[in-house]
Amino acid sequence: MKTNILAPFIKLEESVKFYLNGRVYEMTGNTMTEVETVESTLRNAINAFESFEFTGNTIKWYNGANKFIYNIEEGTFSHGTMVIEGNTFTDHVLAAGTVRYGQKNTADLFESLPTLMENFIVLDFVAAFENNNISVELFKVEEKVYVSRFNAETRIAKFFEAKTANEALEFVTENVNADASSFLRELLEGEAKELADKAALVEQYSDMIAFLKDQRGLLAEADKSIEEIKAADTLISNEINSWESKIADLNA
């Protein structure tokens, strides 16, 4: 499951449009639809997203043996490790011969990244799943759950509003053999809700155990002949056993 997904978007007067996995969606209030009309600003952001590699604080353009980098935090363009100064990005790479004139539009697009950055957003209401050329995205919009499915082999797409979160959960399982319960947990009902709550507790307890084991690992390097160190090690061991017992009880 992939969440917190970076996506091109545009804010309109009464709605928001965003691009995900080859398709454009529009949200008006808590209503979501798939649309074909794409504004020029959004299209430019989409072209940049599909043309360049977005990684953390940098955006990279691989052009043959050349690697161009835009550093978002510093607002600088580089060719490899050399910062481009005293000229616009496009003028520099064309004059240097590292980009052919026929690629000028792509160079201009890369140069426009400082302006385009306001048209990217992290989608915190989306979860994406993929298996065997089939991708499924779930969109939580208030109490609603929208579902998008795409088969990369047949190019067949489907988009709909699920009747319930349980229906969306089953759809993900049936289509990509994945579990969306942690993403849908607060909207699920019945047994599915109970199982999701239990899984969340197991994950919480497991995180605590991992933390305690890390702390015990630090003590492993200390002198166990010191009473305080020995007592701390015993305390942590007992805590680990306690959390493991809680997991065992949940799984019983």
Instruction: Collapse the DSSP code of 119 into the 3-class scheme (helix H, G, I; strand E, B; otherwise coil) and give the result.
Output: helix
pTM of the model: 0.78
pLDDT tens digits, one per residue of 97-145: 999 999 999 999 999 999 999 999 999 999 999 999 999 999 999 999 9
Q: Evaluate if residue 227 carries a pLDDT over 90.
A: no
Give CA–CA dist 237/245, Å, rounded: 12
Give CA–CA dist 124/5, Å, rounded: 7
Q: Evaluate if residue 226 carries a pLDDT over 90.
A: no
Q: Evaluate if residue 239 carries a pLDDT over 80.
A: yes
The average pLDDT across 2-27 equals 95
Q: Are 42 and 19 in contact (CB under 8 A)?
A: yes
pLDDT tens digits, one per residue of 183-222: 998 888 887 777 777 777 778 888 888 998 888 888 777 7
Give CA–CA dist 148/172, Å, rounded: 10
The average pLDDT across 78-93 equals 88
Average pLDDT, the chain: 90
